[in-house]
Structure 1
Amino acid sequence: MMGPKQETQSALFYEFSLEDHVPQDHFLRSIDQFVDLSSIRPHLSDFYSHTGRPSTDPELLIRMLLVGYCFGIRSERRLCEEVHLNLAYRWFCSLDLNDRIPDHSTFSKNRHGRFRESGLLRHEFETTVARCLKEGLIGGHGFAVDASLISVDVQKQNSSNPEDWAAKQIDPKDAPRAVREYLDTLDDEAFGAATTVQPKFTAHADPASQWTAARKGPAFFAFSTNYLIDTDHSIIVDVDASRSNKTAEVGAMRKMIDRTQERFGLKPDWIAADTAYGSGDNLVWLTLKRQILPFIPVFDKGERTDGTFSRSSFAWDDDNDRYICPEGKELLHTRRNYSDATRSAPTWKAQKYRALKADCMTCPSKAKCCPNSDVRAIHREKYEHVRDFARKCTASAYNPTAQKRRKKVEMLFSHLKRILGLGRLRLRGPCGVQDEFTLAATAQNLRKLAKLKPLVPAAG
């Protein structure tokens, strides 16, 4: 039969426990076992006054931010509402039913103040990486690096040509926060000093962002989030923000590799990346200065697309410092016989190797080699020895495994945008962007820990 109508009845007393109402297998319970905030108060002790009204607990703010980034709640207004209503969120934030939720403006005040000045978000990210290391999820043998474009919360209509921007007289004291941060990063390799090329447009609200059409579609303003991951379990060992151009992203990679070694003593045996990281200077930095094997395709402009012989069609003879063409003729950078043999010895500089005109004019393959010139010449880069070493790495039997593992970082970017909802930035300026990327990477590592090391509910 039909049951009685449910009516709201107010009781004088309730016996209620959040601990009993959050399921033992809830995802937040698995995350909570890996959240270590014991070092927050000592870390922030110098940034609080010893007098005045008590402030909001910084541990509560960090826990709320972790909830927001773990579950894709981007708005801090909405985050406060969700924590107010959701019992599991209250339990994770150590809030009772009667505890008051902080106002959304508290996050902005602390983020622009003591959190940023103390580097607290970076500190918590490194604490999470240290926990992953303790749990045995970081092997430290193979790393992968990549960058992904994240659009900025500005519009093209609110931008101008850099020349018009430079002509404006702006007092740094009266400028918005994002503009002041832009001025502070003009000499930073990841931002202002990354390239001397002037962008087509500069955003007024966030001038540090990059106007880019790298997605082969309509151009937009963006920053790049750079991930350095351990390929064993896709743990993010470092994260950095930069402008969206190749030079800035390579600079971010170098910074992350050095910082990871300094913080955790981790230096990989090999690293995998795409062609954007395959410039000669970067390969020299990896192989000669850091002794890391590069499974990186070489950035090479020597390949021809018109059907004629490319540089790779010529065999390099290192013992005799020459190229051998497909017809067996040699190309030399000099044909003089010096009394001092060191004058013609191979050196670390760019050189041009040429064949004999007599050989080329009578060659049966001239139409496929140098149809528009009398002699075939090959330009050899300054660090071609290192580039040849990188080619051997990418041609080795282990390269398919390294490239397969490299795709794990692309999966993390997909998860970042699709699950965590970071397809468009909410904060502006280099510091705000770095905060968002750091919190998102922390949340991804915590979710990975919870997945690989789930909490086993107590029996009974």
Structure 2
Amino acid sequence: MIGRQNRDQLEFFVCGSLRDLVPDEHILARVDRVLDLGWLKDDVADLYAPGVGRPGIDPEAAVRLMLAGFLLGIVHDRRLMREAQVNLAIRWFAGFGLHERLPDHSSLTRIRHRWGAERFRRIFARTVTACMTAGIAKGEVVHVDASLIRADVAWESLAVRHVDAVTNANGDRTAETQEGQRKSRKTGKFKKVCLTDPDATMATSGRNRRLEPSYKQHGTVDDECGVILDVEVTTGEINEGQAILDRLDAVAVATGASIGTVTADAGYAYAKVFAGLEAREITGVIPTKAEPIRSKVPLRRFRYDAKHDLVKCPRGKILRPNKAKISHGRFFASKARDCKGCDLAPLCLSASRVTKSVVIVHDYPALLRARRRRDRWSEEDDRLYRRHRWRSEGFHGEAKTWHGLARAVRRGLGNMRIQAFLTAAAINLKRLAAALLATIFALIAQQIPRNELTRA
């Protein structure tokens, strides 16, 4: 006989906890076993006036609501609170009973503004410490990468920066500053700015892709189990090489361990990066960039003598540093009498020049050593670089696909940093919960006789 379910539920009684209705394998139930926010109330107590006004939302409940949203991929406050109204798992995870009124979505916004990004960084840092304590992160081998995050703005909010108008209004003071910007289609008066979110800058991840208003997340991932050790958000224009050394220093402070090896892609292959790694005694598994060949006699045929600070051309003539200054290196120039009559002069010199000039970047010897090391990569180096592609890049893909980091939820650098910290904290809690579950299974396996475990 076909059964019939009575859908007219006139009364609903729950005897016991909502936890009884949440499956043990649910992500929130698993994370709850490893989440400790007992310290949070004392940490934010200085932001609240005791005995004044109505009682605010419990800090732990607010953070649990936010974390539940990121764990479930519900990153917008309005949608999160609508889902929490009917989702028993979110209610239980945040500590709200069926009869209790949930806070308004705007309360979460005010909490973020009141606490600031650094408070949420501490929440993320606690997850790193917990992973280190559990032994699933060591901080000895790390993978570094950066990823663009599309800003929460519309194309209609972009405007063209009018360099000429600024120059005319301010006279000669800005003329020199803007002169270099006029020459590029990607800077200066041709580059658009965002009016609704000025912190987001125009950037792209490839030459064949258009510029978009973006932020950039710099992430450092541990090699052991993929724990995120550090995240930082900058504007989209910040180059990866400008941030890596500071991020490695932050990882060393957070973990209390000395980094032995770091992997990164060719976007970090700058002389100053290799020199910084050498100064910190860190082995860099970073593929060096192929030297751009803009001349028929390329720079690699000119040998730099670091001891005597001079450059020798392919014919053995000396190029010495001159007084011309650039931000990233120095000019070395030959003498006209040395180039006159040289058999390479028709190839080496342009039609209007009588001397040869080359630019040697700062820390150039470190770059040369990195290139030589790249040619002698061991099997272990190759293995680590392959792991980089799915450890570090996998983290960014996971954050964007499952946790809403493909696009900024709110505007402003501070809000973007909070989103990144909560996303990284949620992923670390997932890693920690999985490690705890694996430990429990291992203990159970040890207690069950081998023959019974085989039959099971």
Contact 1:143 1:268 in 2 (8 A): yes
Kindly report which structure 2 residues correspond to 1:162-241, keeping only aligned pairs within 5 A, or say none: 162-163=161-162, 200-215=191-206, 216-241=208-233
The residue identity in structure 1 corresponding to 2:366 is V
The 1:109/1:331 distance shift into structure 2, 3 A limit, reads: same
Which whole-Å deviations, capped at 9, do the CAs of 1:65-105 have from their partners, x for residues lacking one? 00101111022111112222122222222222222211111
Kindly report which structure 2 residues correspond to 1:72-221, keeping only aligned pairs within 5 A, or say none: 72-113=73-114, 115-116=115-116, 119-163=118-162, 200-215=191-206, 216-221=208-213
* 1:310 aligned partner: 298
Q: Distance between the aligned counterparts of 1:38 and 1:422, measured in 2?
A: 27
Specify the SS of the correspondent of 2:145. strand
Specify the SS of the correspondent of 1:145. strand
* 1:179 aligned partner: none
Q: Distance between the aligned counterparts of 1:293 and 1:359, measured in 2?
A: 45
Contact 1:228 1:256 in 2 (8 A): yes
**Which one of the candidate residues 416, 426, 429 is aligned to 1:443?**
426
Q: Distance between the aligned counterparts of 1:242 and 1:313, measured in 2?
A: 38
1:392 and 2:385 correspond: no
Q: Distance between the aligned counterparts of 1:214 and 1:199, measured in 2?
A: 19
* 1:339 aligned partner: none
* 1:341 aligned partner: none
Q: Distance between the aligned counterparts of 2:432 and 2:253, measured in 1?
A: 23
Structure 1 unaligned runs (5+)? 168-195, 335-347
Q: Distance between the aligned counterparts of 1:292 and 1:273, measured in 2?
A: 13
TM-fit CA distance, 1:112 = 0.8
Q: Which moved more, 1:290-299 or 1:126-135?
A: 290-299
The residue identity in structure 2 corresponding to 1:267 is S
Contact 2:202 2:211 in 1 (8 A): yes
Specify the SS of the correspondent of 2:437. coil
* 2:386 aligned partner: 404
Contact 1:260 1:267 in 2 (8 A): no
* 2:452 aligned partner: none
Identical positions, percent: 25
TM-fit CA distance, 1:274 = 2.3
Q: TM-score, normalised by structure 2?
A: 0.78
1:333 and 2:332 correspond: no
Kindly report which structure 2 residues correspond to 1:277-292, keeping only aligned pairs within 5 A, or say none: 277-288=268-279, 290-292=280-282
Q: Distance between the aligned counterparts of 1:394 and 1:426, measured in 2?
A: 40
Q: Distance between the aligned counterparts of 1:42 and 1:5, measured in 2?
A: 50
* 2:436 aligned partner: 453
Specify the SS of the correspondent of 2:99. coil
Structure 2 unaligned runs (5+)? 167-186, 321-328, 445-456
Q: Distance between the aligned counterparts of 1:12 and 1:124, measured in 2?
A: 37
* 1:37 aligned partner: 37
* 2:68 aligned partner: 67
More helix by share: 2
Contact 2:331 2:358 in 1 (8 A): no
**Which one of the candidate residues 248, 255, 261 is aligned to 2:246?**
255
**Which one of the candidate residues 254, 259, 264 is aligned to 2:255?**
264
Q: Distance between the aligned counterparts of 2:130 and 2:142, measured in 1?
A: 18
Number of residue pairs the alignment of both structures matches: 406
